[in-house]
Amino acid sequence: MRWLMLLLLTLYLIPEPVLAQAAPRGCFSKAEENAEQIVRLGLRLREGATGCDGQPWNMHTQDLWDQVDQKLGARFAAQTQIRRGAFVREFSDDADNRLEMWNGRIVMYFRHHPLSEVYCSEVKTQLEQTLKSGWGVIARVAKTSVDEVRMDYRACPK
């Protein structure tokens, strides 16, 4: 127990840039890959909720997203931090810039995704299921983007 206290004290006292000096591995761990999948799903749901809320689709999804964000925002934030940690490790000299570029790419993709009744209905269904059943829905649906994430980031060998 004492070693844990010393470790935590050491981590607290060492500035963040020093902690971020882990050697690049050239890959994302399973947890980092999962975080990337969840972040992308969150962005898709957020942008879909905004786009599908009003005319011509009238799915009334913005309020659903706001409720999901209120309920699960801290969990999305935790996944975002895991993802950020991977970027800091892999791109230590330019992590913030690269993270902003990737975020912009993903947001622009989902913000300008062609909307349709089918797409908007799916966004609404996922938001409703998330409100009803919780984080498990997010984790399950996010797994469907594993191939998309692996096209962008190499997965670390097991």
CA dist 134 and 147 (Å) reads 24
Where residue 22 falls among pLDDT bands split at 50, 70, 90? confident
Nearest Cα neighbor of 59 from 124, 125, 127, 129 is 124
Judged against a pLDDT cut of 70, whether residue 17 lies above it is answered with: no
At 102-157, the pLDDT tens digits run: 999 999 999 999 999 999 999 999 999 999 999 999 999 999 988 989 999 999 99
- Name the band, by pLDDT with cuts 50, 70 and 90, for residue 39: very high
Q: Which pTM was predicted?
A: 0.83
Q: Domain-by-domain residue ranges, the chain?
A: 26-152
Count CB neighbours of 151 within 10 A.
9
Query: To the nearest whole number, what is the mean pLDDT of the chain?
Result: 89
Percent of the chain topping pLDDT 90: 80
